[in-house]
Amino acid sequence: MQLPNPQRIAAIKAVIAQFLQQRRDDKLEKLPADDPKRSELLQQFIHSSWIDDAAHRVVQIQAVTHSLKPIHPDAKGSSLYREPGSLVAITEVGTHSLGKNYDADVVGNAAALDVYKFLKLSLEDKSLLELALAGDQDFAAALSEDSAKAELLMQAFAGLAAPRGRPSSHSQAKQLYWLADSDAHDDQAFHLLAPLYPTSLVHRVYQQLQDDRFSDEAKAARAARKEGSFHPRPVREYPDLAIQQLGGTKPQNISQLNSERRGNNCLLASLPPMWKSAEVRPLLGVSSMFKVFGRRREVLMQARALRRFLEGKPAANIDTKRKVLDWVNGLIDELLQFSAEQQTLAAGWSQSPDCDLPAAQRLWLDPDAANTALKTDDAADQVAAEFARWLNAQLRDPLPVGDPEFYYWRKLALDQIKQQEREAA
């Protein structure tokens, strides 16, 4: 059993007295000196009077970490209080990620939120609510000298985090069926879920964003970046940030934390990446398309990877053949992609006086051009041969590649070029 600690009890009483005095003085400042309500107000903020009243009003509010009101302001279902440390830890970010450092929210009658502010008062890094939940006897003694009454008062305050009635949803709340088994045809394989708003997690995100955007350290870090000088704090940017307003002109009707955020709830951008392709330019002033093709980043990477693999003198087996085939097919895919990009240009670009490409390459890259000196099949065969010749050149130093490899590369390239032509037709 916890033995009473007079010094600790006095410290708790001092914290409570300071809170009551501050709230009383704030209200007295708004009243004229001769207002008869002043005496009534003084009585309200006597320790025993205010504590008794607060214990009665605490049932009008509830401490939560997951609330329903942000889903819909008229929803009347359950909200929940779950300590983040008690939740199952998973790899994704969630309320469980907060650990012990989190802010509980409060929902219910906004007129009773002062009770929650009282229970948020802290001593020795623990809030009065935590002391109530732990059944701290010094906290009970600070509430009342009558031990039986003190116990009842503490239990009433601890009830702030207790569930209210049976869990329930509401017609205004969201619900969804979640497949919890493998057979989607079985109605019993679904669970009906009622999602709640992770208000404690949302508040932590808001606090982090505010710090990263507006704190003095963040401003100094951005100034240092602009000047090109070092700063120990990283600069964090949140592009395309959206702000969702909850509660309109009365954010306190949603929850206490929502009121502290003035109704602002930050939504991080969740957009697909914007594909930015390099501008496609006609191949002018070059004698072979392979001089441009060979400088493409993916082509360079795959050709180097193939060369390094063969330099390692791998065993002559089916696994080696498969790996080589994968790399060569990857290079041929890049070649087909390269030709497709060139074919997006306006037809006839290869007829420019500045185009020095061989006839086969002109016809293959610019099929709509007025170039009838060569048949399409012949152009494909020549392009496949030039690809094989280019690939041998990438491998020849220091590898001993020759005609067998040339014919093999050419056959692979020609097969894929023909297949592409058939699919296009």
Burial (Cβ within 10 Å: 0-12, 13-18, ≥19) of residue 139: buried
Q: How confident is the model at residue 239 (pLDDT cuts 50, 70, 90)?
A: confident
Q: How far apart are CA 247 and CA 149, in angstroms?
A: 38
Is 226 within 8 Å of 218 (Cβ atoms)?
no
Q: Mean pLDDT score of the chain, rounded to an integer?
A: 88
Q: How many CA atoms lie within 13 A of 293 on its CB side?
A: 26
- Stretch 338-361: mean pLDDT, rounded? 89
- Stretch 365-375: mean pLDDT, rounded? 68
* Max CA distance (Å), the chain: 110
**Per-residue pLDDT for 47 more than 60?**
yes
CA distances to 38, 157, 321 from 120, rounded to whole Å, are 27, 11, 69
List, in sequence order, every beta strand (DSSP E) within 39-147. 61-64, 105-108, 122-123, 126-127
> Could you tell me which residues come within 8 angstroms of residue 278 by beta carbon, excluding any fewer than 6 positions away?
none
Q: How confident is the model at residue 61 (pLDDT cuts 50, 70, 90)?
A: confident
Q: How far apart are CA 344 and CA 340, in angstroms?
A: 7
Q: How far apart are CA 337 and CA 278, in angstroms?
A: 13
The model's pLDDT over 209-230, given as tens digits with 9 standing for 90+, comes to 999 999 999 999 999 998 888 8
> Could you tell me which residues come within 8 angstroms of residue 328 by beta carbon, excluding any fewer than 6 positions away?
306, 391, 409, 412
Q: How confident is the model at residue 374 (pLDDT cuts 50, 70, 90)?
A: low
**Per-residue pLDDT for 3 more than 80?**
no
Q: According to the model, what pLDDT value does residue 30 have?
A: 85
CA distances to 16, 70, 168, 279 from 263, rounded to whole Å, are 29, 10, 26, 45
Q: Which residue has the tokens 């002043």?
A: 38
DSSP, collapsed to helix, strand or coil, labels residue 31 as coil
Pairing of β 126-127 and β 122-123: antiparallel
Taking Cα atoms as reference points, which of 71, 67, 17, 68 lies closest to residue 45? 17
Helix (H) or strand (E) holding 203: helix 199-214
The share of the chain scoring above pLDDT 90, in percent, equals 42
Q: Where on the phi/psi map is residue 313: left (φ > 0), alpha (ψ -120 to 50), or beta?
A: left
The model's pLDDT over 267-320, given as tens digits with 9 standing for 90+, comes to 988 888 777 667 888 999 999 999 999 999 899 999 998 998 888 888 989 999
DSSP result, 144-198: -SSHHHHHHHHHHHHGGGS--SS----TTS--EEEE-SS-TT-GGGEEEE---B-
pTM given for the model: 0.58
DSSP result, 314-382: --SSHHHHHHHHHHHHHHHHHHHHHHHHHTTSPTTGGGSTT----HHHHHHH-TTSS--SS-HHHHHHH
Q: How far apart are CA 30 and CA 196, in angstroms?
A: 40
- Stretch 80-100: mean pLDDT, rounded? 89
* Dihedral angle computed from the Cα positions of residues 180, 198, 103 and 111, in that order, rounded to the nearest 10 degrees: -120
Q: What is the CA radius of gyration of the chain?
A: 37
> Could you tell me which residues come within 8 angstroms of residue 136 by beta carbon, excluding any fewer than 6 positions away?
2, 154
CA distances to 35, 150, 363 from 4, rounded to whole Å, are 42, 13, 96
Taking Cα atoms as reference points, which of 23, 127, 21, 109 lies closest to residue 58? 109
DSSP, collapsed to helix, strand or coil, labels residue 291 as helix
Query: Please, what's the b/e burial string for 9-33 (b: 16 or more CB within 10 A of its CB; e: otherwise)?
Result: beebeebbeebbeebbeeeeeeeee
